[in-house]
Copies of this chain bind each other. A is one copy, B any other.
Amino acid sequence: MLETTANGSLLTSPGKVDRYAGQDFNEHVTLENWQESPFNRWGFVHISELITTATIRRGRASGPSTGSESATPEHAERWHSVEEFLESTHTDAIVVLQHGKLVLERYFGSFQPHDRHVLMSVSKSVCALTMGILVGRGLIDPQQPVHHYVPPLKGSAYGNATVRQVLDMTAAVRYSENYLDAAAEVQQQDRIAGWRPKLETDPEDTYEFLTLLKAAGEHGRSFQYCSAGTDVLAWIIENVSGKRYAEVVSDELWSQLGTLDDALITTDSGGFAFANGGIACTARDLAKIGQLMLDEGKANGQQVVPSWWINDTMRGGDPQLARGTAYQQVHPNGSYRNQWWVPGDSRGTVYAAGIHGQFIWIDPVSDTVIAKFSSYPQPVALELSRAHAAGFRQLISILEYTS
């Protein structure tokens, strides 16, 4: 049915109010403001209208979704606190799988099951799974230095880091990951990637940007979260495969998972796909990435990612390397391995996280995957990390209690 009334959403498009007479479409979403609240609620779901994109294809034989569409354990006594968690963290969508079955699926605001939400740094975890496939095939040796696979990076920060160090983010790079600082490298990367208006002084594209980064000491000594590292991994993937990054993710990973929809990835003027943060997909498909982890790399009855790669990832890295980080203020025993966060708790939790509240949270004990999209106003904050860790753990305990 065609709706002839306004859909009640304040932020629906970059359109003009006088052009949608009688509608509430009275706010602009622009390249300048789409990452800021409240514009991010629309921007995170309409990234292809703001930035150019390439397709990451679903499997050709994908059928309709199986499982209940809105399973909610309404009888749970503590459920209201989960509702509060979802509301207070500006949730756009949550999909929970337990024992591989859909047990909870909720959408908020105007977000729909078919909508694709930007993953932010959850994209990094997707990149490393793709790399795990190529490592398993012998195309990449994590002990090799980066310049072995990408000669133009020789002499730059990442050139003599090993692939392993880049995977675990222990390369030492002069790079500020302060999302709110216009002078930070992470914002410059945004501009070059087409995520913000470009400055004349910026390098031409991400490839060039990566060649210009400078080292900041000895690699391998400590954990330094740096978005550029994932883009280096993507460049390695392109060079060893002879294909573009989006094609490799399509062919090797996304089309093999029984995904229901294509995903997207933003591209820059040089054709570089923004591996560190630019994927957008549906909530249901995102949960399939988590299920792949729980199933030790198997999906649709076949081994997509080597099981040893998944196991190595879920065991985590060395927590000593992350001493003194904000991360360990939330997860004191936490480490970072193969672009996944490993809290080091007794349940074997592992998670992928993106700014503004994007998550895949995996709990092996209860065999649960939680995929969550949000439009949290701040990109990163201790209370955001704490609220999510607590919220996910409570949700899992309720599911255990009621199942």
- Which positions in A face B, CB cutoff 8 Å? 2-7, 12-16, 18-23, 46, 48-55, 57, 60-65, 114, 116, 134, 137, 139, 151-152, 207, 235, 238-244, 248, 251-252, 260-262, 264, 267, 269-272
Name the one of B3, B114, B139, B240 contacting A242, with C-beta atoms under 8 angstroms: B3
Closest to A133 in B: B2
CA distance A69 to B10 in the complex (A): 46
Contact (Cβ within 8 A) A16 B64 = no
Q: Is the CB of B5 within 8 A of A242?
A: yes
Residues of B within 8 A of A50 (CB): 52
Assess the B137–A270 pair: CB atoms within 8 A: no
Asked if B49 contacts A271 (CB within 8 A), the reply is: yes
| Residue in B closest to A113 when the chains form the complex, CB atoms | B60
**Between-chain CB contacts (< 8 Å), 23 pairs:** A2-B243, A2-B248, A2-B251, A4-B241, A6-B242, A7-B243, A14-B270, A15-B244, A15-B270, A18-B152, A19-B207, A19-B239, A20-B238, A20-B242, A21-B239, A48-B52, A48-B55, A49-B53, A49-B271, A52-B52, A60-B64, A261-B262, A262-B262
> Are B54's CB and A49's CB within 8 A?
yes
A46-B54 in contact given A20-B238, A243-B2 (Cβ < 8 Å): yes
Residues of B within 8 A of A19 (CB): 152, 207, 235, 238-239
Name which of A65, A242, A251, A264 has the most chain B CB atoms within 10 A of its CB: A242
State in angstroms the CA–CA spacing of A109 and B233 once bound together: 30
Knowing that A3-B241, A48-B54, A49-B267 are A-B contacts, what are 7 other residue pairs whose CB atoms are under 8 Å apart, sorted by A's residue number? A2-B251, A3-B243, A7-B243, A19-B235, A19-B238, A20-B238, A48-B264
Docked pose: A240 CA to B57 CA in angstroms: 34
**Bound CA–CA A240/B6 (angstroms):** 11
A219 to B251, CA, bound (A): 52
Instruction: Report, nearest first, the 5 A-B pairs whose CB atoms are least far apart.
Output: A14-B271, A15-B271, A13-B271, A61-B64, A49-B267
Please state if A51 and B52 are interface contacts (CB–CB under 8 Å). Answer: yes
- The chain B residue sitting closest to A255, CB to CB, is B114
**Bound state CA distance, A57 and B113, in angstroms?**
12
- Residues of chain B within 8 A of A264, CB atoms compared: 48
B60 adjacent to A114 (CB under 8 Å): yes
Question: Residue A16 contacts which of B5, B63, B270 (CB distance < 8 angstroms)?
Answer: B270
Interface pair A14/B53, CB less than 8 Å apart: no
| CB contact under 8 A between A14 and B269, given known A22-B242, A248-B2 | yes
Judging by beta carbons under 8 Å apart, are A134 and B243 in contact?
no
Q: Is the CB of B49 within 8 A of A7?
A: no
